[in-house]
Amino acid sequence: MKKFFAILFLILIVGLAGYLIFTREKGAKEANNAEDFYRAKFFEKLSGNMVQCGLCPNRCILSRGQIGLCKARKNIDGELYSLNYGNVAAQHVDPIEKKPFFHFLPGAKAYSISTTGCNMRCSFCQNWDISQVFPWEVETTKMTPEQVVNDALQSGSEVIAFTYNEPIVYYEYVYDVARLAKEKGLRTVVVSNGYINLEPLRELLPYIDAYKVDLKAFKEEFYQKFTGGHLAPVLETIKTIKNSGVWLEIVNLLIPGENESKEEIREMAKWIKENVGDDVPLHFSAFHPEYKLQNLPSTPSETIIKARQVAMEEGLKFVYTGNIIYPEGESTYCPGSKEIAIERRGYMIQANNLVDGKCLDGEVIPGIWK
């Protein structure tokens, strides 16, 4: 009996060693077969088989086999590859208002997809389970751009939304899907942190109809402490999108004690008005404990309502509230007559009084209405 168990012990230990060698080797082969991945569009080759990614301000310098901060790009034999091209981690049909877009095709269905990874590491991320992981840590579905577009058409959606995780990190996939979507008559929207270099942004914008940027705060310290990124590149992205003519909306998530001071909101509103105009919709959204900030309380409704008031005092015409129950902050008003242009409850349109994007008195409300 002892001999039997002793032999079993031997088999166990040797078998374990063999299994470890097998998995190491299998993993090495799978992780470094360039044919399995999609060559990245923006990178520079450096000496010693190193590369520098040019997609976002992180500008990761990677040696052979290294993966970027976004967990979505890898140096394979001196070239940069996207690890998550075509690997769809989430797909759902959402109302466009959920993104949120309030001045873009009201009531439209948005076929929403995502992959994995992110070039920031926000402590309050609500989609951290797909944004802060490597592609192999999440179950994904392989979908070609053609399949995405066909699926979107079959779902009856008018829009394809690149959302949930950060679309920038699957740039090439966004680009290919968006180009095809335009050919098939679909609109495209990007829901993003805005942390992208200008060259790739400018190349993508012709295929995007609307862009929502998460302006996480208006202080550099907040960006460094809570996101791992920087404020200035996001502001450049916002200006570039506006100048390109692509429809722009901005969201600011207010976190208690961190970025909800009146002074900061005032500064942000002033900057928006001076740099991109007073008619860019701004959404203030309430924080709820999530990911690494579960110790903080939810943002009180009064804070969100007050933020809206401050922003409107600074001259912004279309300021909305989100994640709270406040009907006045969810609806669009004609700035001149103060009449309700579009009445909303949450994501649902209750009434749309616009005619060809105009109020009854003829005032034009900026946006894309059809």
Q: For binding to another protein (CB under 8 A), which residues are involved? A: 2-3, 5-7, 9-10, 13-14, 16-18, 20-21, 23-28, 30-32, 48, 50, 60-69, 71, 75, 134, 136, 292
Name the residue nearer to another protein (CB basis): 75 or 165. Answer: 75
Q: Which of 321, 238, 228, 322 has its CA nearest to residue 275? A: 238
Nearest distance from residue 318's CB to another protein, in Å? 37
Q: How far is the CB of 31 from another protein (least distance, A)?
A: 4
Least CB distance to another protein at residue 6 (A): 4
Rounded-to-integer distance, Cα 182 and Cα 198, Å? 22
Rounded Cα distance between 327 and 349, Å, is 12
Alpha-carbon span 94 to 87, nearest angstrom = 20
User: What is the chain's length?
Assistant: 370
- Can you tell me the distance from the alpha carbon of 125 to that of 117, in angstroms, rounded to the nearest whole number? 12
Nearest approach, Cβ of residue 229 and another protein (Å): 12
- For another protein, give the closer residue by CB, 2 or 370: 2
> Cβ closer to another protein: 47 or 154?
47
> Least CB distance from residue 171 to another protein, whole Å?
19
Query: In the chain, what is the straight-line distance between the N-terminal and C-terminal CA atoms, in Å?
Result: 80
Measured CA to CA, the distance from residue 27 to residue 319 in angstroms comes to 50
* Nearer residue to another protein within complex by CB, 228 or 335: 228
Query: Phi and psi dihedrals of 160, rounded to 5?
Result: -110, 125
Residue entry with tokens 């012990």? 9
Strands 109-114, 90-95: pairing kind: antiparallel
Q: Taking a C-beta distance cutoff of 8 angstroms, is the pair 351, 343 a contact?
A: yes
DSSP assigned state of 113: E
Nearer to another protein, 61 or 305 (CB): 61
Q: How far is the CB of 260 from another protein (least distance, A)?
A: 22
156-166 burial, b if ≥16 CB within 10 A, otherwise e?
ebbbbbbbbbb
Does the bond joining 145 to the residue before it have cis omega, within 30 degrees of 0?
no
Smallest gap from residue 63 Cβ to another protein (A): 4
Amino acid at 43: F
Shorter beta-carbon distance to another protein: residue 66 or 309? 66
Minimum CB–partner distance for residue 44 and another protein (Å): 14
- One-letter amino acid at 39 equals R
Considering beta carbons, is residue 20 or 360 the nearer one to another protein?
20
Nearest residue (CB) to another protein, 28 versus 232? 28
Q: Which is nearer to another protein, 14 or 351 (CB)?
A: 14
In DSSP notation, 143-206 reads --HHHHHHHHHHTT-SEEEE-SS-GGGGHHHHHHHHHHHHHTT-EEEEEE-----HHHHHHHGG
Minimum CB separation of residue 179 from another protein in Å reads 31
